Structure 1
Amino acid sequence: MSRRRVARVLLDSPVPQLDRLFDYEIPDSLAEAAIPGVRVRVPLRSAGRMIDGYIVEVDESSDSDRPLSELEEVVSPIAVLPNTLYTLARRAADRAAGSASDVLRVAVPKRMVRAEKAWLAADPPAFPQCDLDAIGRARAVLDEFPGATAAISEGNRLAIDAPPRLTSTNDGAHVGAWAHVIAASAAVTLATGRSAIIVVPDHRDRAQVTAALADFLPADAIVRDDAAQSGPARYAAYLRVLAKAPCVVVGTRSTVYSPAARTGLVIIWDDGDPLLSEPLSPGVHARDAALLRQEIEGSALLFIGHTRTSDVERLVAVGWVREIAARRRQSPRVVLAAANDGDGRGARIPSSAYRAAREALALGPVLVQVSRPGYAPTLVCSDCRKPARCRHCAGPLHARRPKAAPECTWCGRTANNWTCANCDSDRLRMASAGSERTADELGRAFPGVRVVVADGEHPVTHLDDRPALVIATRGAEPIAAGGYRAILLLDGERMLLAEDLRIGESALRWWSNAAALAAPGASVHLVGVVGPVARALATWTQPAYARAELEDRGPLRMPPTVRVASLEGELAAVTDALQSLHDTVPAVDSPAVLGPVPIESEDGPRVRALVRFDYNLGSAVTAALRAAVIAAAMRARKPRGPRAPRVRNTLKVRVDVPDLQL
């Protein structure tokens, strides 16, 4: 009986029913090039066209009677999809009721021919040479956390609270002490011949980690890998990671999939940052992907941050993640500042905080954190106090500059000759102060003092130690040389009014990250906030706050005590999916479902429903939801013919939604 070689191919397609391996016969002309992991082009009979894909497996088949299409082309000789990466993508997609090809579209950069040719022509990278003295200094940094070095070498899952202070690198740059802890962990791992993966939310964090890594490792051992790079640069970095020589990979959320050789450690910094939540389908959070990767590869996993998310605290509570405390507890000096009787009604900054800022300005820079950028982020009618809305799209109006015409934050139109829809008044009032208006007001209150605005439109990453008032939005605070001599956290009460289940966690994270920029002994003033969040900041007990959040959410069956899936689409598709889910997984009963309720959509009438389910039902629920998505896609298949109307998917599913709203 004749045998033939068969390639099992994963198609690069967003169509849910194509999310499986397809068998293709390998012709003799491609016998040597068709190896697992390479990019290929194959015919797709149902569509009558060619499609890209990856060879996942190569096998021999004795079933010669089964007709198989042949591989059309091997696009590249480089195996860009190692088996470990495919396994991780498959597990992540199944957990999120999504497609493996969607995960790989995030993980594997597009092919760049010139970068590939240059890589093939160059010699393979050598194993990095670690300096023994530098590795000794790295171990000394980790000694601050007893048992951390041994736990990393044993492949444990760890949670560490970052030291809330600044430190300086060998070349004089100032970075957070957390960056030194991360760099030391990666250096110790690389010294054992294993790679380390470091995942951070944005370019600011990446720059700090890279500067800290330079204290312990040579430049050729550090690889940058994130979507902000140019196409050729990112593809070249990806090819370097595929090499046998271990390295330290630093990047943003997609870096969690980086297929580094012999991965020994994955580090997630500040996992509560929403930037680590993947917005593209299937929306797998970097934290969840890292947990899956640790299970598959047996590498160590480290969660580190100034605060503890309730997700990580749940893992600590069930014993899945081990908490390691610092040898010496450190915390900034936090003052809960309330308005005094003499401050006047509506005073934004209490007199005590004013005095602290004035005294600190004699020594160096002072940080003032505000909630919003711009001049007046919110405008209201001066007569009836109703929010000012755009007459075209009903979006909120704001003012970019003093005395400027208001603009819509949604459509960007200028609202000339605006009148209130409620009372016909044409007078506007500023209801809030953004970074620029705060800078204007404080500039008048402290004449002669340098004022620096740091927000999305005015990015500032570092500052010298000269006196200055730094007005920054949350997350955009620059690093001041030696730290800030005082920090004022404004608009806290406004931040906590946001309609978000996790707003307490988020606010605590914003304030803690800012407080960690203070100079030793400097005061941090939280203005106008009381309650559990304020106490957690003042006592620097963020893990205790996360535990209390878990206790409160448990009886209400709110995440992360349970998992939540969101179903969006036409009413019939959502109803059918919910019924199929109940039939398949009876434990998901009616009380576990919220909705469906109508939602606004450009695709016509749509509804949304939320499904809550326990972690032990995860595999069954996601499999049922994925089957429902495929069934809906098959029903909505595009009719044949050149003039056939386009048919959109009637059902969209996202598991572990980051923002729980109906």
Structure 2
Amino acid sequence: MTGPEEQPELVPGMVRATVRASQAKARATKERQAAQAAVATHDPVARVLVDVPLAHLDRTFDYAVPEAMDAGVRPGVRVKVRFAGQDLDGYVVERAATSDHPGTLAPLRRLVSDEPVLSPAIVALADDLAERYAGTRSDVLRLAVPPRHATTEKEPSTPAPPLGSLPPAPPGWGDHPQAAAFLTHLRAGGAPRAVWGAAPGADWPALVAHAAAETYAGARGVLVCVPDGKDVARLDRALTERLGPGHHVALTAGRGPAARYREFLAISRGARRIVVGTRGAAFAPVHDLGLIVLWDDGDDLHAEPRAPYPHVRETLLLRAEREGAAVLVGGFARSVESAYLLRSGWAHELAPARDALRRAVTVTVAGATEWELERDPGARSSRMPRQVHEVIGRALEQGPVLVQTPRLGYVTALACERCRTPARCTACQGPLVLSGPSQPPACRWCGTTDPAWSCGECGHRGLRAPVLGDARTAEELGRAFPGSRVLVSSGERVLAEVDDSRAIVVATPGAEPVAPHGYAAVVLLDTWLLLGRTDLRTDEEALRRWCNAVSLVRPGGQAVVVGDPAHAALQALVRWDPGGFAERESTQRQEAHLPPASRLATIIGEPGAVDDAVTLLAAPEAAEVLGPVDLGDDECRVVIRVPRAQGPALSAALRELQRVRSARKLDAVRIQVDPVSL
């Protein structure tokens, strides 16, 4: 190895290079400090919301505006600031003439972009949501503002073309007695609020597009939020047909960063004033917002899985209150929260006439009458009674048939054929399943196959399948109707549309494709599976999924349900009365002190951390502490419940708890206000 004494010229050279680099860095620092020393003369203080996730630092901080940045530093722009010894991102909330800070203000480090991407309305919304869900504004703004794409930001946003003459209103609104007044109020610039129950078979994208066009014709913006990308695509087409291209943008999570930022800038700059999208679109900075539409608010896709876990419904209702916009909460089913809006008088009902509902669809339960039981004594115990086969056979002569089954897979549960004991794996005691018609039984947990299985109770080797999946259902229907195509839509292979040809479409809930002119018939199988879940919203969610499936039938079509005809949810489906069902559910929850009549919050974490959090929480006097409940993996959960009127006080107490725990650097706990499910 070569020693220092053998390279006398190298070391002095390295020293000189290091000295020169240090001198250059010092000169650059002095020049930057000199440039920043000259502070702007007008409103020299910038209040910055720094991107810090710590709850006790969730406030604005004052910085001096250097004269060199004076022209570009405006409310809503991105900046870099020095904070806690490091350069962090932030947003300028406002410019001010003075500061409450007694010392010398640190200058802004850098103006990232002079593009204002955070509007005052979204700043106020972030404040409301952080208070409502006991979170931080920085977490809300991560959901609201997409990451910057510098190249896209340099591109101009093409303005929308002039609005031409609108086509006639779609016929569906004529079935709603109150629709004419609602749409007239929208066009006149009013702010009506309605909960809309759409009729089965209605072309809801066309009806929503018409309401959006009426608002847009009055020079106001529109924001529409739907559960998934399939709904966005349908609304995208409906708006294009009604308004023409170039008047709206569609925001979905599948768009690339450049495309999404380009569409966001078009909205922020006012070039587009109609926005359609999934839950992220709830924060779109629409100019002159006049109408907010939320479709199928009971879908759990509207619940944000990231902190502070806001729900799209609450986000949009807060926006409507703050910005004075009209509201249309629609769906084929009705959530309990929507029913509460009607009960409180905050919104009015927009429902089709009963004659229109009777013309739209006929819903029957297999084996519900004595005559049907005489024809088929096993109608109530059979998975696919004779009536189902008859309806499918007749409907196939007119078009496609939809069959909804709740389970994904082939045979999702096995049991002894003789004694009905569930079949278990001998290695890990997991449940045995069949993945195909020629596959041996295999464990769902560890994957071990057991072709020689025998019952541990009675020794019998025969198996029965109490629960069948969509693949086995498609196989059985293919054998029963050999002249028809059988399509499967589920899991990772979800079909968006099917044609009107003769076909049987087997789909899991939420994966039902759309037929251009509707299905000739709809069949709902294994309803007991959806009703067997242990959850507060089991019946409500089951009815919502059934209504969404039946709504795909063509006008005058038929739906057959296999299940218990005495169950309240099935009775509501047969009568097509989701509003009455939601009202009864709301009454029962009010009696049981459950949401939406009360406000719930959960605290989840390690047992010691949860116990400390409950001790520090200054909850309202009427608060009830339920738990703790062991969740496994060294976690537990406590539920805090208060009357609805004290909900804001509970949220404020939880937010203060977050600040105290953050300042003391205590172990983290996860706090959710009004979680979708417990």
Considering only aligned residues, what root-mean-square deviation do their CA atoms show, in Å?
Answer: 2.7
Q: How far apart, CA to CA, are the structure 2 residues paired with 1:536 and 1:73?
A: 61
Alignment of 1:184-333 (within 5 A): 184-326=210-352, 329-330=356-357, 331-333=360-362
Q: Are positions 1:477 and 2:512 aligned together?
A: yes
Show the counterpart of 2:645: 616
Amino acid across the alignment from 1:40: V
CA contact (8 A) 1:14 1:101 kept: yes
What is the match of residue 597 of structure 1? 629
Q: Which residue of 2 aligns with 1:640?
A: none
| 1:55 aligned counterpart, secondary structure | strand
The answer to whether the 8 Å contact 1:580/1:624 transfers is no
What are the equivalent positions in structure 2 for 1:357-368 lying under 5 Å apart? 357-368=392-403
Task: Note the alpha carbon deviations across 1:163-210, whole angstroms, 9 max, x for none.
Answer: 3215xxxxxxxxxx1111110011111111111001000011111111
Q: Deviations 1:560-582 (Å, cap 9, x if unpaired)?
A: 2211101112333323333343x
Partner of 1:24: 63
* Distance change (3 Å), C-alpha of 1:20 and 1:557: same
What TM-score do you get using the length of structure 2 for normalisation?
A: 0.86
Which residue number in structure 2 is paired with residue 35 of structure 1?
74
8 A Cα contact 1:3 1:63, kept in partner = no
TM-superposed CA distance for 1:380, in Å, is: 4.8
Cα shift at 1:405:
5.6
In structure 1, distance between residues paired with 2:91 and 2:244: 34
Asked if 1:146 corresponds to 2:183, the answer is: no
1:617: Cα distance to partner?
1.2
Question: 2:571 corresponds to which residue?
Answer: 535
Q: How far, CA to CA, are the matches of 1:33 and 1:342 in structure 2?
A: 79
> Is the CA contact (8 Å cut-off) linking 2:408 and 2:471 kept in structure 1?
yes
Q: 2:611 aligns with which of 575, 580, 584?
A: 575
CA distance in 2, matches of 1:54, 1:513: 42
Name the counterpart of 1:626. 655
Amino acid at match of 1:518: V
Deviation at 1:70, TM superposition (A): 2.0
For structure 2, the 5+ residue unaligned runs are 1-40
**Are 1:85 and 2:119 matched, yes or no?**
no
Of 54-63 and 622-631, more deviation after overlay is shown by: 54-63
Question: Which blocks of at least 5 consecutive residues in structure 1 are unaligned?
Answer: 167-176, 638-648
Instruction: Evaluate the alpha carbon distance shift between residue 62 and residue 628 of structure 1 in structure 2; reply closer, same or farther with a 3 A threshold.
Output: closer
Q: Secondary structure at the match of 1:377?
A: strand
Which residue identity lines up with residue 621 of structure 1 in the other structure? L
Q: Is the 8 A contact 2:267 2:273 kept in 1?
A: yes
Match of 1:401 among 436, 442, 452: 436
Residue 160 in 1 paired to residue 196 in 2? Answer: yes
Q: Match for residue 635 of structure 1?
A: 664
Instruction: Note closer, same or farther for the CA distance 1:87–1:4 as it changes in structure 2 (3 Å cut).
Output: closer
Counterpart contact for 1:390–1:408, Cα < 8 Å:
no
Q: How many residues align?
A: 622
What secondary structure does 1:471 align onto?
Answer: strand
Deviations 1:42-80 (A, max 9, x none): 1122xx222111111111226674133221111111110
- Residue 128 of structure 1 contacts residue 247 of structure 1 at CA under 8 Å; is this kept in 2? no
* Cα separation, 1, equivalents of 2:54 and 2:454: 47
Q: Does the 8 Å contact 2:474/2:506 carry over to 1?
A: yes
The alignment partner of 1:431 has SS state of strand
CA drift of 1:154 comes to: 1.3
SS in 2 for 1:315: helix
- The Cα of 1:132 is off from its aligned counterpart by 2.1
Letter in structure 2 aligned against 1:653: I
Partners in 2 of 1:296 and 1:308 — Cα distance?
A: 25
User: What is the SS of the residue equivalent to 1:85?
Assistant: helix
Equivalent position amino acid for 2:327 in 1: L
1:456 matched to 2:474? The reply is no
Structure 2 distance, partners of 1:19, 1:395, is: 47
Contact preservation (8 Å) 2:140, 2:308: yes
Q: Secondary structure at the match of 1:598?
A: strand
SS in structure 2 at match of 1:432: strand
CA offset digits 1:322-377 (Å, max 9, x no partner): 11233563241001113845438952111112111111112221111000121123
Q: CA deviation at 1:487?
A: 1.1
**CA distance in structure 1 between the partners assigned to 2:572 and 2:478 by the alignment:** 32
Cα 1:245–1:138 shift into 2, 3 Å: farther
Residue 486 (structure 1) aligned with residue 521 (structure 2): yes
Deviation at 1:298, TM superposition (A): 0.2
**Is it true that 1:131 corresponds to 2:164 in the alignment?**
yes
Query: In the alignment, what sits opposite 1:645?
Result: none
2:93, 2:502 → 1: CA distance?
59
Looking at structure 2, the residues matched to 481 and 395 of structure 1 have their Cα atoms a distance apart, in angstroms, of: 43
2:191–2:324 Cα contact (<8 Å) kept: yes
Shift of 1:606: 2.2
Quote the Cα distance in structure 2 between the aligned partners of 1:498 and 1:442.
Answer: 27
Alpha carbons 1:41, 1:51 under 8 Å: kept: yes
Range moving further from structure 2, 463-472 or 56-65: 56-65
